[in-house]
Structure 1
Amino acid sequence: MPRKLAALASVLSAGALLLTGCANPSTGSAEDDPSKPVTLKFWHGWSEESEVKAIDASIARFEKLHPNIKVKATGNVTDATVNQALRAGGNDAPDVVSSFTTNNVGQYCSSGMWVDLNPFMKKTGLDKAKVFPKTLLDYTSYEGDQCALPLLADAYGMYYNKDAFAEVGIKRPPRTMSELRRDAVKLTKRTKSGGYQRVGFMPNFRLYQNSPDRLFAQWGPSYFGKDGKARLAKEKAAKEFYATTRELIRSQGGYGPLETFRTSFGDEMSSQNAFLTGKLAMHMDGEWRGLFMKGAKFKWGTAPLPVPDDRPETYGRGYLTGTVVGIAHSSTHQNAAWELVKFLTADTDQVVAFANAIHNVPSTKAALTSPKLDSDPTFRAFLDIAQNRYSTALPPSINGGQYVTSQQDFSYGVEAGKVHDLDAGLRKLDDEIDADNLQAQN
């Protein structure tokens, strides 16, 4: 959804704010009585009319269960704005905060600006391991500090044009990378002038949601070693990933022609989206894309992304991310704030209702299997991806999403043919990530 793009755009500015002047956030209190009348301030990033309507409905359900707690919600708030307010503290700061940027959880936890929720869960008997999938717990914690909880999730998979598949005699979506390359070539259709009418699968990293870390997840890579140091140069998966994307590009005409075609695409969230208009036969995207496909003039389906040829047992996996929510360290109403966080994240009926309303993946084990969940089979594919034991999320880091940005910049050079020595390039990338992490610690 549009919020995904806003989240990506705010990563660097949010990270910069977290890394400067935030070591001693304003201290709040967890001594309040949650049964007493109180008004909580809840800041979130949702801005689309349907999304705001859904979050307001969630708050109304909470207030009905907790008539003594009123919630004043403020939407369309960026991470940068939240971080400024939490550093300043005081009466104007929020009590409950959410973020679309899971990459920043390491900073939220290590800076102390979001409180550790483990004591609240212990006090109220919430067993996080029983409630939430492990991967979602991993991206909401840092070094044992559970400073956030998942508030719906996003899973990445493949959208494919069934009519285009039938046209060239392909009977099912590709399951391995070699099948993806073979099918992409078959599905690519040229114009008489030599341009493209349709591309089978465009791996270009600047395309819509094609951030390199998302396709890279199909290899299940380890970004950091046990010592905390970046280890992409030591990852066989990294070399295989870049070799695969290079071959996908080469076999469909080369980077230059594909990039020229990409620049002709309409806006991702518009009716001119390249998959919706038939310019892409296969496309990586999240579960929310289904909401935008109602006007499609062709039959389409969803499936997991392919996996490396030597790991067929991992088929069904995908990249996971999502919204996170926590309690501001400066809040003087932390027990009441926990009641809201607990309701939004762990109440099964609430999680299902919210997931159905904004077409996101539920973030609890019970909600993922609820019979009340949207039964649309194209949505169900993403539920399966979210529950697949091989699915992965990005590891938290003290410097937030900076290492992801470094990998993106490196990947742009690889796909454009500017990185001639991949091993040396990956070693340099590791050094850059380690230097950024060291700076964040000082």
Structure 2
Amino acid sequence: MPMSRPRFRLSAALVGAGLLISACANPGMGSDRDDPTAPVTLTFWHGWSTPGEVKALNDSVARFEKRHRNITVKLVPNVTDETMNQALRAGGSDAPDVVSSFTTNNVGQYCSSGMWADLDPFLRKTGVDKKRVFPKTLLDYTSYRGRQCALPLLADSYGLYYNKDAFKKAGITRPPRTMSELKRDAVKLTERTEDGGYRRVGFMPNFRLYQNSPDRMFAQWGPRYFDAHGKARLAEDPASEQFFATARALVDAQGGYGPLEKFRTTFGDEMSSQNAFLTQKLAMHLDGEWRGLMLKDAKAPFHWGTAPMPVPDDRPETYGRGYLTGTVLGIAHSSRHQNAAWELVRYLTTDTDQVVRFANAIHNVPSTKAALNSPELDADPAFRTFLTIARNRYSVALPPSTNGGQYVTALQDFSYAVEAGKVPDLGKGLRGLDAQIDADNLQSEN
């Protein structure tokens, strides 16, 4: 099963409620003077919740405890960012020592607030060269303005799932590699009913579908959200208008926004047996590496394959890229056992055998260079597509921000309006979006 993925809307709601950490927070002081060889019990809060995920992490911690007989780890599963942040603000003996989050774009808050400890001193004194251990993109989303307050603990990469049987029937010999090929194939694969509805859509571009948050397809253009001074620059980037034009062309070629959105509302829950790709209402679909395991477990009644998402026609050299995200792991600043906590963080994030075993167990992408190239990784070709995406030098992740995912929520709301035809002047709309993002960032910093 996949790791739980909180929607960005949650982050914005928490900001509005004053529950997420602000830059002016005053976290309780912990200690990095503890003896990591002394007997101690660490509390580790994480968000995994399904039985398979929880077992895999419990097994990982059991292996750690065998190596560190003096350290006992108390695991607390299914903890949300909201609960964790409230506990870290309150401090006290009930607060966790080790913390994790599925929301990489909240790292800016964790680092700037000081609630998560700076890990660079721990990396240096234990001889861990982070640039040699971790891929650059993963390091980028676990740090903020030079502060490495988190490390990656497995990753997710996004690619294209496609129905091989539908492709064969339509006479398509390989998955599309460019956006124009995606549009062409989507039209060929779309099947209508006698009453004008849909039996199947080639590729549903609508942004409210499952994992179709606009930032994930936008990654194929390699956008820069902010300039060197932290100012939003989406209106300045030609890729922004190109992205929305491509999305609009995909919609128009398959019948228009209204009919597609009506068909989307007939889809079942993303994580259920009524997932639209599994029920063959979609011939192609953007999703993460975990979907393959779910398709196998569900015994999908068709042959399917995976490939990188197509890229813009004028950037063919970037084919193979994709959107990256993942779990981040850190040490609570209020922990009185930071050296012992670091031993756990270091083991879970840098030990090659551990990272590979955990990745295989929950079907996620490993998060170190050595683990990505390990022969012990799952050999399934469908899964290895996502390893290739993770290694691609053009793959990108969302940049961290002081207000977490609020800028992504602003982009989502804007994208919903664009696809519904409510933004007549795209350039003007993008300038307004930049102004909104800048105002939100300024408010969170004051």
Q: TM-score range by the shorter chain?
A: over 0.9
TM-score, reference length from structure 1 = 0.99
2:387 pairs with 1:383: yes
Q: For residues 191 and 340 of structure 2, what CA distance do their matches in structure 1 show?
A: 58
Residue of 232, 235, 257 corresponding to 1:233: 235
Q: For residues 8 and 439 of structure 1, what CA distance do their matches in structure 2 show?
A: 18
Give the secondary structure class of the aligned counterpart of 2:19.
helix
Change over 3 Å in CA distance of 1:242–1:357 after alignment to 2: same
2:163 pairs with 1:135: no
2:401 pairs with 1:414: no
Amino acid at match of 1:258: L
Change over 3 Å in CA distance of 1:368–1:319 after alignment to 2: same
Tell me if the contact between 1:113 and 1:330 (Cα under 8 Å) persists in the aligned partners.
Answer: yes
Q: For residues 21 and 386 of structure 1, what CA distance do their matches in structure 2 show?
A: 31
2:354 pairs with 1:350: yes
Q: Which residue of 1 aligns with 2:441?
A: 437
Residue of 217, 220, 240 corresponding to 2:219: 217
2:147 pairs with 1:145: yes
After superposition, give the CA deviation of every residue in 1:161-214 in whole Å (9 maximum; x if it has no partner): 000000010000000000000000000000111100000000000000000000
Structure 1: gaps (5+ residues):
none
The structural deviation recorded for 1:5 is: 3.4
Q: Which residue of 1 aligns with 2:184?
A: 182
Amino acid at match of 2:11: V
TM-score, reference length from structure 2 = 0.98
Q: For residues 53 and 14 of structure 2, what CA distance do their matches in structure 1 show?
A: 23
Give the secondary structure class of the aligned counterpart of 1:293.
helix
Structure 2: gaps (5+ residues):
none
Q: Which residue of 2 aligns with 1:17?
A: 19
Q: Which residue of 2 aligns with 1:300?
A: 304
Change over 3 Å in CA distance of 1:14–1:338 after alignment to 2: farther
The structural deviation recorded for 1:88 is: 0.7
Q: How many residues align?
A: 442
Q: For residues 310 and 7 of structure 1, what CA distance do their matches in structure 2 show?
A: 32
Q: For residues 393 and 428 of structure 2, what CA distance do their matches in structure 1 show?
A: 33
The structural deviation recorded for 1:341 is: 0.2
The structural deviation recorded for 1:96 is: 0.2
Tell me if the contact between 2:134 and 2:367 (Cα under 8 Å) persists in the aligned partners.
Answer: yes
2:196 pairs with 1:194: yes
Q: For residues 138 and 286 of structure 1, what CA distance do their matches in structure 2 show?
A: 20
Amino acid at match of 2:98: V
Percent of pairs identical after alignment?
74
After superposition, give the CA deviation of every residue in 1:115-163 in whole Å (9 maximum; x if it has no partner): 1000000000000000000000000000000000000000000000000
Moved over 6 A (4+): none
Change over 3 Å in CA distance of 1:397–1:41 after alignment to 2: same
The structural deviation recorded for 1:17 is: 1.9
The structural deviation recorded for 1:282 is: 0.3
Q: For residues 88 and 243 of structure 1, what CA distance do their matches in structure 2 show?
A: 47
Amino acid at match of 1:340: L
Q: Which moved more, 1:181-190 or 1:2-11?
A: 2-11
The structural deviation recorded for 1:3 is: 3.9
After superposition, give the CA deviation of every residue in 1:257-294 in whole Å (9 maximum; x if it has no partner): 00000000000000110000110000000000011112
Counting only pairs closer than 5 Å after superposition, residues 96-135 of structure 1 correspond to structure 2 as 96-135=98-137
Give the secondary structure class of the aligned counterpart of 1:200.
strand
Tell me if the contact between 1:10 and 1:80 (Cα under 8 Å) persists in the aligned partners.
Answer: no
Change over 3 Å in CA distance of 1:437–1:9 after alignment to 2: closer
Give the secondary structure class of the aligned counterpart of 1:164.
helix
Q: Which residue of 2 aligns with 1:58?
A: 60
The structural deviation recorded for 1:18 is: 2.5
The structural deviation recorded for 1:226 is: 1.1
Q: Which residue of 2 aligns with 1:253?
A: 255
Tell me if the contact between 2:2 and 2:291 (Cα under 8 Å) persists in the aligned partners.
Answer: no
2:410 pairs with 1:397: no
Q: For residues 5 and 127 of structure 1, what CA distance do their matches in structure 2 show?
A: 30
Tell me if the contact between 2:45 and 2:79 (Cα under 8 Å) persists in the aligned partners.
Answer: yes
Amino acid at match of 2:120: N
Q: For residues 154 and 71 of structure 2, what CA distance do their matches in structure 1 show?
A: 23
